[in-house]
A and B are shown apart, each in its own frame.
Chain A
Amino acid sequence: MRKLLYILGAVLLLAGAAFGILAWRGSSSLARYTNTNIHMGAVSTAAADALCPQTGHPRLVCLANGLQHGMSPELRAQLRRPYSAADARRWSNFPPVGYPDRVGPTLGDFTPAQLGFVKAMPATAAGLAKNEGYDELEQILNADDYLKANTTDNAGFSSGNFHIAFLGTPAERGTWELYFGGHHTAVANTYRDGRLIGATPSFRGVEPFTPFTMNGRTNAPMAQERDAFAAMLTGLTPAQQREAKLDMIFTDVVVGPQRDDNFPTTREGVRVGSLDLHRQQLVLAAIDRYVMDISQPDAAAILRRYQAELGDTYVAFSGAPGMNAENDYVRIDGPSVWIEFSMQPGRSIPGIHPHSVWRDRRSDYGGNG
């Protein structure tokens, strides 16, 4: 009996230790953070382009198959997971130390040849518009490389720590999600039977916010978003600004990661339908900065839907309309579209840096959330 109790105690201790370690590391215990800067701009997609000359979803399926060709079973098991809404919700703005629960392997797990296919996938899904889509993503990865190179923070900065995962099987039939994410980044494109059914949640943030040089280029991935919001808000009349002004303080976005159910039930601010055509166009231009993070022709279809709902869309802000200071916050809230932009203090370097999320009340996670 005594021996049995000793054994039981020891087993409980070991189980507790193992569970504790797993809980500390997060359930993505297979994730390996190499903390290596990759310089994605220099990764060649020539082999991927040669194998997959298609466009749109057929190209994504081809790239997914090409990427998995010859891949180790262990890496494939991490990359390709069954589709589940629970896994789809596992994204964050935090670097790996702050949120270790992301799904999928990291870019540091791939060979240079495989990285060409990895790079081609978000480029295909997000499009190639300058400072939007894939170009914006690459600059955000460069920002992490910059933080890795220029700070002593041990948060897990670096492009090598970004994740990619397929939730479900990329194929012409069935539902799957292309997930690409890491610090300040979440891409979650959901496809059903070859059609994009959800382009959100889509999170972007960047530190440093002011233009910086890294990986052989000047980077300012979110300047266009800030400028579009500033133009939209400063373009309002004083009376419209008063109507749009929120009385609360916002130090971050409201419907951020792990806050999927946090949409307000009533809309606040100034109704876009009450604005003149010029001001409505400024609102649409701000929305376009987010929709352009999706490749065509899907982006145009999404923008048409948001344009049709513009009359019942609201604009609200807190802080100053220039969106250039700590705690400046702006929101676009429509029957479908939800966009938030929050300017925050620098975390790793002095200054300010933005967080921003684009959601769709009707098609977040492809309607599966």
Chain B
Amino acid sequence: MAATADVQRRALLRAGLYVIPLLASARVLAHPMPDTEIVVGRDATTVALDIRLPFHDLLLASPPGLPRDARTLLAGNQPSLRSYFAAHTRLLGPADRPVPVTIGTIRLHQDHGADVGAYAELEVRAVARVDAHVRIRLAYDAILHRIANHRALVRDHRGRPIGTIRYSLASRRASPLALPNGPSS
């Protein structure tokens, strides 16, 4: 009985500790429109990037000839979309050594936001094997390489901001963003 109470007490404490950041980030975790949002998760051996980006802006930025309809595009062009994101999503290790990134399945999310109206987003997951203690930088410029005002807002898995990646009109590139080390480093 005492053990059960102890488990309940620990669960309550854990819930309290988890609820604070979740609630605090309730607003920032709403849809990222009109920008891209990248949520970074790191554990002992991997880094995962959950990318949400506006479909409309992707169409503007991608090469002509692709289907304009989101479902058609996703159904028939997963390999070329994955190639696009692989070319524009790079992780740089020490001495800017490239870290191989795997682009997973690309999904469509359609919704309605009171401030932006109906919208469609693509959800992309990129994963790389990187030890938690290794310092890495994210070089990301999907959409940004064509749409100058577009930004990628980068957050950790609790919604806390890590930084913003934006295209610089001066340098004509998007500067890489340093990512925090993993939890066990």
Contacts and interface: CB of A to CB of B under 8 A. Distances in A.
A10 B21 CA distance: 15
B149 A252 contact: yes
Given A2-B5, A254-B149, A20 B170 contact: no
Contacts of B5: 2
Contact of A20 (B13, B22, B115): B22
A347 B116 contact: yes
A202 B69 CA distance: 37
Contacts of A15: 20
A250 B148 contact: yes
A252 B12 contact: no
A151 to B, nearest CB: 9
Residue picked from A249, A252, A265, most chain B C-beta under 10 Å = A249
A19 B20 contact: yes
A153 interface: yes
Main secondary structure of the interface of B (DSSP, over half): mixed
B17 interface: yes
A98 B34 CA distance: 11
A249 B147 contact: yes
A174 interface: no
B24 A249 contact: no
B60 A251 contact: yes
Contacts of B167: 248
Contacts of A26: 27
Interface residues of B, number: 36
A8 interface: yes
B16 A97 contact: no
B158 interface: no
A254 B117 CA distance: 22
A212 interface: no
Contact of A252 (B16, B27, B34, B170): B34
B147 A250 contact: yes
B20 A248 contact: no
B176 to A, nearest CB: 18
Interface string B70-106: 0000000000000000000000000000000000000
A251 B149 contact: yes
Contact of A8 (B13, B28, B57): B13
Contacts of B61: 249
Contacts of A21: 23
A23 B166 contact: no
A317 to B, nearest CB: 12
Given A98-B116, A251-B34, A19 B60 contact: no
B149 A16 contact: no
B159 to A, nearest CB: 10
B114 interface: yes
A5 B169 contact: no
Contacts of A252: 34, 149
Contacts of B60: 249, 251, 327
A250 B144 CA distance: 10
A13 interface: yes
B13 A5 contact: yes
Given A23-B27, A264-B170, A155 B114 contact: yes
Interface of A: 2, 5-6, 8-13, 15-17, 19-21, 23-24, 26, 94-95, 97-99, 153-156, 246, 248-254, 256, 262, 264-266, 268, 327, 342, 347-348
27 contacts: A2-B5, A2-B9, A6-B9, A8-B16, A9-B12, A12-B13, A12-B19, A13-B19, A15-B20, A16-B21, A16-B22, A19-B20, A19-B24, A21-B23, A23-B27, A23-B28, A24-B26, A154-B114, A248-B146, A248-B147, A248-B167, A249-B146, A249-B148, A251-B147, A342-B149, A347-B116, A347-B117
Given A20-B24, A253-B149, 12 more contacts: A6-B9, A9-B12, A12-B20, A16-B21, A16-B23, A17-B23, A20-B19, A95-B115, A99-B115, A248-B148, A265-B170, A347-B116
